[in-house]
Amino acid sequence: MNEQAKLGDFLRTRRSQLRPADVGVPTYGDRRRVPGLRREELAQLAGVSVSYYTRLEQGQSQSASAEVLDAIARALRLGESERLHLHDLARADRPRQANGRPAPERVTEAARQLLDVLADVPALVLGRRSDVLAWNRMGHALFAGHLDPRAPEKAGERPNMARLVFLDPHTRELYADWPGKARAVVGSLRIVAARHPQDSALHSLVGELCSKSDEFASMWADHRIKACTVAVYEMRHPLVGTLTTLQQTLSHGPGPAVVVATTEADSPSRAALTLLAQATAPSTAGAVAPPVRRDALPPGAARPGSGVITG
């Protein structure tokens, strides 16, 4: 699908999801053959001609002005992330550089220093395609303790958070609200795909996920856009039980982003994170690890000697 076709697909999908009652369009009781708004109704709300809007949906128009795109975004009741996404898609017919091999993503020195400073806080570095470029010890323990700790160092075998969320049973069980997490992953990939339409590696990832996961394919076709820089997730960790984390994405312009997971002070979730740090601390030769107090374990945590496999 070329970029103009993606723009039309986005407009048609969002138009079909908007009911006349949502925008005050009278229907006079008429029966509709298709869901959502008609093209002429959307064009009237946006203040553009029906023929122009039709050409835009069909990928036959020249680049729309920023003012027209904003008017269409208002008519479609798009949020800010969705409005920016619409602008990214509309730039598709402007001259672009020829396709080239995507430059390898690397961890910046600033990101490495941040991981070192956040030694007691789960953190990982994500590339724009959601590849895990690095993680600290706690980041590995919380998000992917069942994987090789050195996996991010192997360029050809790096974990990918989108793949893990949709294709890895361990990660699926990790999130109590898996559909919410999955929608956030898809929404973020949608934003990146519009900003980097020539990224062949990203297209391959999306194609792989669409072929291997019906749920991903359905969510991708829905065209929902969601920029999740801050989100609260309830996690069900196999070692320490249920905990609520605030996951924040720290980004300074282009390049990899750092994702950190924090917990509320003096909460059971903070206690669970502390226990996770103790349970995954590197062993010292000859030293005996202090026993974990049973009364300190949060509800739902695996008890020592319970036979639970923690990865």
**CB distance 15 to 37 below 8 Å:** yes
Given this model, what pLDDT does residue 108 score? 86
Average pLDDT, the chain: 82
Task: Give the CATH class of 109-281.
Answer: alpha beta
**CB distance 114 to 53 below 8 Å:** no
- pLDDT of 62 > 80? The answer is no
Could you name the CATH architecture of 3-93?
A: Orthogonal Bundle (1.10)
Given this model, what pLDDT does residue 251 score? 81
273-286 pLDDT tens trace:
999 999 988 875 44
Q: How far is CA 31 from CA 19, 34, 35, 36, 281, in A?
A: 13, 9, 10, 12, 65
Q: Parse the chain into domains and list their residue ranges.
A: 3-93, 109-281
* Residue-wise DSSP of 243-263: EEEEEEEE--SSS-EEEEEE-
> Of 140-144, 196-200, 299-303, which range is least confident?
299-303
Query: What letter represents residue 218's amino acid?
Result: S
**Dist CA 164 CA 58 (whole Å):** 35
Report which of residues 246 and 35 the model is more confident about: 246
- pLDDT of 260 > 90? The answer is yes
Ramachandran angles phi, psi of 246, nearest 5°: -100, 110
- pLDDT of 115 > 70? The answer is yes
Report which of residues 192 and 169 the model is more confident about: 169
Q: How confident is the model at residue 306 (pLDDT cuts 50, 70, 90)?
A: very low
What is the rounded end-to-end Cα distance, in angstroms, of the chain?
Answer: 41
**Quick check: helix, strand or coil at residue 237?**
strand
3-27 pLDDT tens trace:
667 888 888 888 888 888 777 776 6
Distance from chain centroid for Cα 50: 35
**Residue 88 zone, left/alpha/beta (φ > 0; ψ -120 to 50; rest):** alpha
In sequence order, what are the beta bridge partners of 250?
258
User: Are 3-93 and 109-281 in the same CATH fold?
Assistant: no
Q: How confident is the model at residue 79 (pLDDT cuts 50, 70, 90)?
A: confident
**Dist CA 56 CA 6 (whole Å):** 11
In sequence order, what are the beta bridge partners of 262?
246
- pLDDT of 126 > 80? The answer is yes
